[in-house]
Structure 1
Protein backbone atom coordinates (compact mmCIF):
# COMPACT_ATOMS: atom_id res chain seq x y z
CA UNK A 1 0.00 0.00 0.00
CA UNK A 2 1.31 3.42 -0.97
CA UNK A 3 0.36 6.68 0.70
CA UNK A 4 0.63 9.56 -1.73
CA UNK A 5 0.45 13.25 -0.87
CA UNK A 6 0.40 16.40 -2.92
CA UNK A 7 3.85 18.00 -2.68
CA UNK A 8 2.17 21.41 -2.70
CA UNK A 9 1.10 20.93 0.87
CA UNK A 10 4.68 21.37 2.09
CA UNK A 11 6.82 22.04 -1.00
CA UNK A 12 5.21 24.68 -3.18
CA UNK A 13 8.74 25.97 -3.81
CA UNK A 14 10.91 22.83 -4.05
CA UNK A 15 14.15 24.71 -4.80
CA UNK A 16 15.80 23.78 -1.49
CA UNK A 17 14.87 20.12 -1.98
CA UNK A 18 16.26 20.23 -5.53
CA UNK A 19 19.55 21.62 -4.18
CA UNK A 20 19.72 18.82 -1.62
CA UNK A 21 19.11 16.17 -4.28
CA UNK A 22 21.80 17.69 -6.53
CA UNK A 23 24.31 17.54 -3.68
CA UNK A 24 23.39 13.89 -3.05
CA UNK A 25 23.72 12.95 -6.74
CA UNK A 26 26.76 15.08 -7.56
CA UNK A 27 28.53 15.90 -4.26
CA UNK A 28 31.72 17.24 -5.86
CA UNK A 29 30.08 19.39 -8.53
CA UNK A 30 29.61 23.05 -7.62
CA UNK A 31 26.15 24.50 -8.04
CA UNK A 32 26.00 26.53 -11.24
CA UNK A 33 22.52 28.00 -11.26
CA UNK A 34 18.99 27.54 -9.91
CA UNK A 35 15.96 29.03 -11.63
CA UNK A 36 12.75 29.00 -9.61
CA UNK A 37 9.48 29.70 -11.44
CA UNK A 38 6.46 30.71 -9.39
CA UNK A 39 2.80 30.79 -10.39
CA UNK A 40 2.38 34.37 -9.16
CA UNK A 41 1.53 35.75 -5.76
CA UNK A 42 -1.07 38.13 -4.42
CA UNK A 43 -0.18 40.51 -1.62
CA UNK A 44 -3.23 42.16 -0.14
CA UNK A 45 -2.82 45.69 1.23
CA UNK A 46 -5.64 45.09 3.69
CA UNK A 47 -4.38 43.69 6.98
CA UNK A 48 -6.97 42.51 9.46
CA UNK A 49 -6.07 43.87 12.89
CA UNK A 50 -8.71 41.86 14.74
CA UNK A 51 -7.35 38.70 16.34
CA UNK A 52 -9.43 35.76 15.17
CA UNK A 53 -9.28 32.60 17.24
CA UNK A 54 -11.71 30.43 15.33
CA UNK A 55 -10.54 26.99 14.26
CA UNK A 56 -11.18 27.94 10.62
CA UNK A 57 -8.91 30.99 10.91
CA UNK A 58 -6.16 29.05 12.65
CA UNK A 59 -6.31 26.33 10.01
CA UNK A 60 -6.12 28.95 7.26
CA UNK A 61 -2.97 30.42 8.86
CA UNK A 62 -1.35 26.97 9.10
CA UNK A 63 -2.13 26.23 5.43
CA UNK A 64 -0.86 29.64 4.30
CA UNK A 65 2.34 29.16 6.29
CA UNK A 66 2.90 25.64 4.95
CA UNK A 67 2.29 26.63 1.33
CA UNK A 68 4.24 29.91 1.35
CA UNK A 69 6.76 29.88 -1.48
CA UNK A 70 8.49 33.13 -0.61
CA UNK A 71 10.09 31.93 2.64
CA UNK A 72 12.21 29.41 0.68
CA UNK A 73 13.02 32.16 -1.81
CA UNK A 74 14.22 34.58 0.89
CA UNK A 75 16.36 31.85 2.50
CA UNK A 76 18.04 30.75 -0.76
CA UNK A 77 18.52 34.31 -1.97
CA UNK A 78 20.40 35.11 1.22
CA UNK A 79 22.48 31.93 1.33
CA UNK A 80 23.59 31.41 -2.27
CA UNK A 81 26.35 33.38 -4.03
CA UNK A 82 25.29 36.21 -6.36
CA UNK A 83 24.14 35.19 -9.84
CA UNK A 84 23.41 31.61 -8.73
CA UNK A 85 19.74 31.77 -7.74
CA UNK A 86 17.00 33.38 -9.83
CA UNK A 87 13.35 33.52 -8.73
CA UNK A 88 10.65 34.62 -11.14
CA UNK A 89 7.26 35.03 -9.44
CA UNK A 90 5.11 38.02 -10.46
CA UNK A 91 2.96 39.91 -7.98
CA UNK A 92 -0.64 39.71 -9.18
CA UNK A 93 -3.15 42.54 -8.77
CA UNK A 94 -5.90 40.08 -7.83
CA UNK A 95 -6.01 36.73 -6.03
CA UNK A 96 -6.90 34.47 -8.96
CA UNK A 97 -7.16 30.73 -8.24
CA UNK A 98 -5.03 28.25 -10.20
CA UNK A 99 -8.13 26.61 -11.70
CA UNK A 100 -9.50 29.85 -13.19
CA UNK A 101 -10.93 29.39 -16.69
CA UNK A 102 -12.75 32.64 -17.56
CA UNK A 103 -11.22 34.25 -20.64
CA UNK A 104 -11.12 37.76 -19.16
CA UNK A 105 -9.21 36.53 -16.10
CA UNK A 106 -6.80 34.48 -18.23
CA UNK A 107 -6.22 37.54 -20.44
CA UNK A 108 -5.51 39.57 -17.29
CA UNK A 109 -3.00 36.96 -16.12
CA UNK A 110 -1.31 36.96 -19.52
CA UNK A 111 -1.03 40.75 -19.52
CA UNK A 112 0.42 40.78 -15.99
CA UNK A 113 2.88 38.07 -17.03
CA UNK A 114 4.04 40.06 -20.07
CA UNK A 115 4.52 43.18 -17.93
CA UNK A 116 6.55 41.15 -15.45
CA UNK A 117 8.77 39.82 -18.24
CA UNK A 118 9.36 43.36 -19.51
CA UNK A 119 10.30 44.60 -16.02
CA UNK A 120 12.63 41.64 -15.41
CA UNK A 121 14.22 41.33 -18.86
CA UNK A 122 17.77 41.96 -17.64
CA UNK A 123 17.45 39.41 -14.83
CA UNK A 124 16.15 36.82 -17.32
CA UNK A 125 19.00 37.55 -19.73
CA UNK A 126 21.52 37.12 -16.92
CA UNK A 127 20.02 33.74 -15.94
CA UNK A 128 19.99 32.60 -19.58
CA UNK A 129 23.63 33.61 -20.02
CA UNK A 130 24.72 31.66 -16.94
CA UNK A 131 22.70 28.59 -17.97
CA UNK A 132 24.17 28.59 -21.47
CA UNK A 133 27.84 28.99 -20.47
CA UNK A 134 30.16 26.39 -21.96
CA UNK A 135 32.43 24.48 -19.62
CA UNK A 136 36.13 25.14 -19.90
CA UNK A 137 38.41 22.42 -21.26
CA UNK A 138 39.78 21.84 -17.76
CA UNK A 139 36.24 21.40 -16.37
CA UNK A 140 35.44 18.89 -19.13
CA UNK A 141 38.63 16.90 -18.40
CA UNK A 142 37.87 16.88 -14.67
CA UNK A 143 34.30 15.70 -15.39
CA UNK A 144 35.61 12.90 -17.62
CA UNK A 145 38.14 11.75 -15.01
CA UNK A 146 35.48 11.80 -12.27
CA UNK A 147 33.07 9.84 -14.49
CA UNK A 148 35.68 7.18 -15.27
CA UNK A 149 36.75 6.83 -11.64
CA UNK A 150 33.10 6.48 -10.56
CA UNK A 151 32.48 3.86 -13.28
CA UNK A 152 35.40 1.63 -12.27
CA UNK A 153 35.27 2.17 -8.51
CA UNK A 154 34.99 -1.12 -6.66
CA UNK A 155 35.85 -3.35 -9.62
CA UNK A 156 38.40 -6.01 -8.56
CA UNK A 157 40.81 -5.56 -11.47
CA UNK A 158 41.26 -1.85 -10.65
CA UNK A 159 41.80 -2.29 -6.93
CA UNK A 160 45.26 -1.59 -5.50
CA UNK A 161 47.70 -4.50 -5.27
Structure 2
Protein backbone atom coordinates (compact mmCIF):
# COMPACT_ATOMS: atom_id res chain seq x y z
CA UNK A 1 0.00 0.00 0.00
CA UNK A 2 1.05 3.59 -0.69
CA UNK A 3 -0.28 6.97 0.48
CA UNK A 4 -3.07 8.59 -1.52
CA UNK A 5 -3.63 12.29 -0.85
CA UNK A 6 -6.91 14.21 -0.86
CA UNK A 7 -5.76 17.77 -1.51
CA UNK A 8 -7.46 21.15 -1.14
CA UNK A 9 -5.01 22.69 -3.61
CA UNK A 10 -4.21 21.79 -7.24
CA UNK A 11 -1.17 19.61 -7.79
CA UNK A 12 0.14 17.13 -10.31
CA UNK A 13 0.89 13.77 -8.79
CA UNK A 14 0.79 10.41 -10.56
CA UNK A 15 -2.78 9.86 -11.69
CA UNK A 16 -3.87 13.50 -11.39
CA UNK A 17 -5.11 15.84 -14.09
CA UNK A 18 -2.64 18.63 -13.47
CA UNK A 19 -1.43 21.17 -10.99
CA UNK A 20 -0.90 24.35 -12.92
CA UNK A 21 2.41 25.96 -11.97
CA UNK A 22 3.16 23.59 -9.07
CA UNK A 23 5.80 20.87 -9.50
CA UNK A 24 4.75 17.26 -9.81
CA UNK A 25 4.21 15.48 -6.52
CA UNK A 26 5.57 12.03 -5.78
CA UNK A 27 2.28 11.05 -4.15
CA UNK A 28 -0.81 9.96 -6.03
CA UNK A 29 -4.02 11.71 -5.11
CA UNK A 30 -6.82 14.00 -6.16
CA UNK A 31 -7.93 17.58 -5.66
CA UNK A 32 -11.45 17.12 -7.02
CA UNK A 33 -13.06 14.56 -4.67
CA UNK A 34 -15.50 15.84 -2.04
CA UNK A 35 -14.33 15.95 1.57
CA UNK A 36 -16.82 13.30 2.70
CA UNK A 37 -15.04 10.86 0.38
CA UNK A 38 -11.70 11.71 1.95
CA UNK A 39 -13.14 11.21 5.43
CA UNK A 40 -14.73 7.88 4.57
CA UNK A 41 -11.58 6.61 2.85
CA UNK A 42 -9.30 7.64 5.70
CA UNK A 43 -11.55 5.91 8.24
CA UNK A 44 -12.21 2.75 6.20
CA UNK A 45 -10.62 0.36 8.67
CA UNK A 46 -10.70 -3.25 7.42
CA UNK A 47 -13.48 -5.40 8.96
CA UNK A 48 -15.27 -2.23 10.17
CA UNK A 49 -16.04 -0.25 7.00
CA UNK A 50 -16.13 -0.96 3.28
CA UNK A 51 -13.24 0.38 1.20
CA UNK A 52 -13.77 3.48 -0.92
CA UNK A 53 -13.00 3.77 -4.62
CA UNK A 54 -11.93 6.71 -6.78
CA UNK A 55 -11.40 6.82 -10.52
CA UNK A 56 -7.94 8.15 -11.47
CA UNK A 57 -7.95 11.31 -13.55
CA UNK A 58 -5.35 9.83 -15.85
CA UNK A 59 -3.15 6.80 -16.20
CA UNK A 60 -5.79 4.08 -15.98
CA UNK A 61 -9.47 3.24 -16.04
CA UNK A 62 -9.66 0.90 -13.06
CA UNK A 63 -10.87 2.49 -9.80
CA UNK A 64 -8.31 2.89 -7.03
CA UNK A 65 -9.17 1.03 -3.82
CA UNK A 66 -8.71 3.16 -0.70
CA UNK A 67 -8.66 2.00 2.93
CA UNK A 68 -7.71 3.32 6.36
CA UNK A 69 -4.72 5.65 6.08
CA UNK A 70 -3.32 4.07 9.22
CA UNK A 71 -2.41 0.98 7.20
CA UNK A 72 0.47 2.84 5.57
CA UNK A 73 0.86 6.20 7.34
CA UNK A 74 -0.90 6.28 10.70
CA UNK A 75 0.96 9.51 11.43
CA UNK A 76 1.11 11.16 7.98
CA UNK A 77 3.16 14.13 9.15
CA UNK A 78 6.18 12.82 7.22
CA UNK A 79 4.11 12.68 4.05
CA UNK A 80 2.86 16.24 4.62
CA UNK A 81 6.38 17.56 5.21
CA UNK A 82 7.75 15.82 2.11
CA UNK A 83 4.86 17.16 0.02
CA UNK A 84 5.33 20.73 1.24
CA UNK A 85 9.08 20.73 0.62
CA UNK A 86 8.67 19.19 -2.83
CA UNK A 87 6.00 21.64 -3.99
CA UNK A 88 7.45 24.74 -2.30
CA UNK A 89 11.23 24.14 -2.09
CA UNK A 90 12.02 27.83 -1.55
CA UNK A 91 9.59 28.34 1.34
CA UNK A 92 9.92 27.34 4.98
CA UNK A 93 7.29 25.29 6.77
CA UNK A 94 6.12 27.57 9.56
CA UNK A 95 3.77 25.30 11.54
CA UNK A 96 3.48 21.52 11.43
CA UNK A 97 0.67 20.02 13.53
CA UNK A 98 0.13 16.29 13.99
CA UNK A 99 -3.11 15.23 15.71
CA UNK A 100 -3.24 11.77 17.27
CA UNK A 101 -6.14 9.83 18.75
CA UNK A 102 -4.39 8.58 21.87
CA UNK A 103 -1.71 6.00 22.54
CA UNK A 104 -2.34 3.79 25.57
CA UNK A 105 0.59 1.43 26.28
CA UNK A 106 0.19 -2.15 24.98
CA UNK A 107 -0.25 -5.09 27.33
CA UNK A 108 3.02 -6.36 28.73
CA UNK A 109 2.30 -9.94 27.66
CA UNK A 110 0.36 -10.36 24.45
CA UNK A 111 -1.50 -13.55 23.70
CA UNK A 112 0.54 -16.36 22.21
CA UNK A 113 0.15 -17.94 18.78
CA UNK A 114 -1.31 -16.23 15.74
CA UNK A 115 -3.51 -13.95 17.85
CA UNK A 116 -0.48 -12.64 19.72
CA UNK A 117 1.45 -12.15 16.48
CA UNK A 118 -1.48 -10.25 14.94
CA UNK A 119 -1.73 -8.03 18.03
CA UNK A 120 1.99 -7.28 17.96
CA UNK A 121 2.04 -6.50 14.24
CA UNK A 122 -1.05 -4.32 14.52
CA UNK A 123 0.46 -2.29 17.35
CA UNK A 124 3.70 -1.89 15.40
CA UNK A 125 1.77 -0.65 12.36
CA UNK A 126 -0.22 1.98 14.23
CA UNK A 127 2.46 3.03 16.73
CA UNK A 128 3.30 6.61 15.79
CA UNK A 129 5.86 7.32 18.52
CA UNK A 130 8.88 6.42 16.40
CA UNK A 131 7.61 8.49 13.47
CA UNK A 132 7.01 11.52 15.65
CA UNK A 133 10.46 11.17 17.24
CA UNK A 134 12.08 11.00 13.81
CA UNK A 135 10.30 14.18 12.72
CA UNK A 136 11.34 15.94 15.94
CA UNK A 137 14.96 14.93 15.31
CA UNK A 138 14.79 16.13 11.71
CA UNK A 139 13.43 19.52 12.81
CA UNK A 140 15.57 19.85 15.94
CA UNK A 141 17.86 22.45 14.38
CA UNK A 142 15.16 24.30 12.46
CA UNK A 143 14.48 27.82 13.66
CA UNK A 144 11.56 28.36 11.27
CA UNK A 145 9.33 25.30 11.80
CA UNK A 146 7.21 24.84 14.92
CA UNK A 147 6.22 21.18 15.26
CA UNK A 148 3.36 20.21 17.58
CA UNK A 149 2.37 16.60 18.21
CA UNK A 150 -1.02 16.36 19.93
CA UNK A 151 -1.08 12.80 21.25
CA UNK A 152 -2.60 11.95 24.66
CA UNK A 153 -1.18 8.87 26.37
CA UNK A 154 -3.51 8.66 29.37
CA UNK A 155 -5.25 5.29 29.97
CA UNK A 156 -8.55 7.22 29.84
CA UNK A 157 -8.27 7.11 26.05
CA UNK A 158 -7.98 3.32 25.92
CA UNK A 159 -10.98 2.08 23.93
CA UNK A 160 -11.61 -0.42 21.16
CA UNK A 161 -12.04 0.87 17.62
CA UNK A 162 -15.59 -0.43 17.59
CA UNK A 163 -16.60 1.04 20.95
CA UNK A 164 -20.24 2.19 20.91
CA UNK A 165 -21.08 2.45 24.61
CA UNK A 166 -22.30 6.01 25.20
CA UNK A 167 -20.90 6.15 28.72
CA UNK A 168 -17.42 5.12 27.55
CA UNK A 169 -17.55 7.65 24.71
CA UNK A 170 -18.67 10.36 27.14
CA UNK A 171 -15.70 9.65 29.42
CA UNK A 172 -13.32 9.82 26.47
CA UNK A 173 -14.81 13.17 25.41
CA UNK A 174 -14.42 14.56 28.93
CA UNK A 175 -10.84 13.27 29.11
CA UNK A 176 -10.08 14.96 25.78
CA UNK A 177 -11.43 18.31 27.00
CA UNK A 178 -9.39 18.05 30.20
CA UNK A 179 -6.27 17.11 28.24
CA UNK A 180 -6.57 20.09 25.89
CA UNK A 181 -7.12 22.61 28.69
CA UNK A 182 -4.26 21.38 30.92
CA UNK A 183 -0.60 22.27 30.63
CA UNK A 184 1.54 21.84 28.64
CA UNK A 185 -1.08 21.17 25.96
CA UNK A 186 -2.91 24.48 26.45
CA UNK A 187 0.29 26.46 25.88
CA UNK A 188 1.18 24.39 22.83
CA UNK A 189 -2.23 25.01 21.27
CA UNK A 190 -1.88 28.73 21.95
CA UNK A 191 1.52 28.74 20.22
CA UNK A 192 0.03 26.98 17.20
CA UNK A 193 -2.85 29.47 17.03
CA UNK A 194 -0.55 32.47 17.42
CA UNK A 195 1.83 31.35 14.68
CA UNK A 196 -0.97 30.50 12.27
CA UNK A 197 -2.84 33.77 12.89
CA UNK A 198 0.33 35.81 12.50
CA UNK A 199 0.70 34.40 8.99
CA UNK A 200 -2.83 35.31 7.92
CA UNK A 201 -3.43 38.59 6.06
CA UNK A 202 -5.37 41.08 8.17
CA UNK A 203 -8.43 42.84 6.78
CA UNK A 204 -7.94 46.57 6.47
TM-score by length of 2: 0.58
Kindly indicate which of the two structures has a greater share of residues assigned to helix: 1
Structure 1 residue runs of 4 or more that deviate by more than 4 Å after TM superposition = none
Give the structure 1 partner of residue 126 of structure 2: 67
Give the structure 2 partner of residue 132 of structure 1: 197
Higher RCO (CA < 8 A, seq sep 6+): 1
Q: How does 1:74-113 map to 2 (within 5 A)?
A: 74-80=133-139, 81=142, 84-94=146-156, 95-113=158-176
**Pair 1:29 & 2:91 matched:** yes
Q: Residues 41-71 of structure 1: CA distance to partner in whole angstroms, max 9, x if unpaired? A: 2125x522x894x233223222221221222
Q: Residues 56-92 of structure 1: CA distance to partner in whole angstroms, max 9, x if unpaired? A: 3223222221221222111112221366110111123
Where structure 2 has 5 or more consecutive residues not aligned to the other structure, the ranges are 1-61
- Judging changes above 3 Å, is the alpha-carbon distance between structure 1 residues 135 and 28 closer, same or farther for their aligned structure 2 residues? farther
The structure number with the bigger radius of gyration is 1
The count of aligned residue pairs is 133
For 1:117 and 1:35, the matched residues in 2 are separated by 14
Deviation at 1:8, TM superposition (A): 1.4
- Judging changes above 3 Å, is the alpha-carbon distance between structure 1 residues 114 and 51 closer, same or farther for their aligned structure 2 residues? closer
Where structure 1 has 5 or more consecutive residues not aligned to the other structure, the ranges are 137-161
The range that moved more, 89-98 or 107-116, is 89-98
Q: CA RMSD in A?
A: 2.4
Match of 1:121 among 156, 165, 186: 186
Query: Aligned to 1:63, what secondary structure does the other structure show?
Result: helix
Query: Aligned to 1:91, what secondary structure does the other structure show?
Result: coil
Query: Aligned to 1:41, what secondary structure does the other structure show?
Result: coil
TM-score by length of 1: 0.72
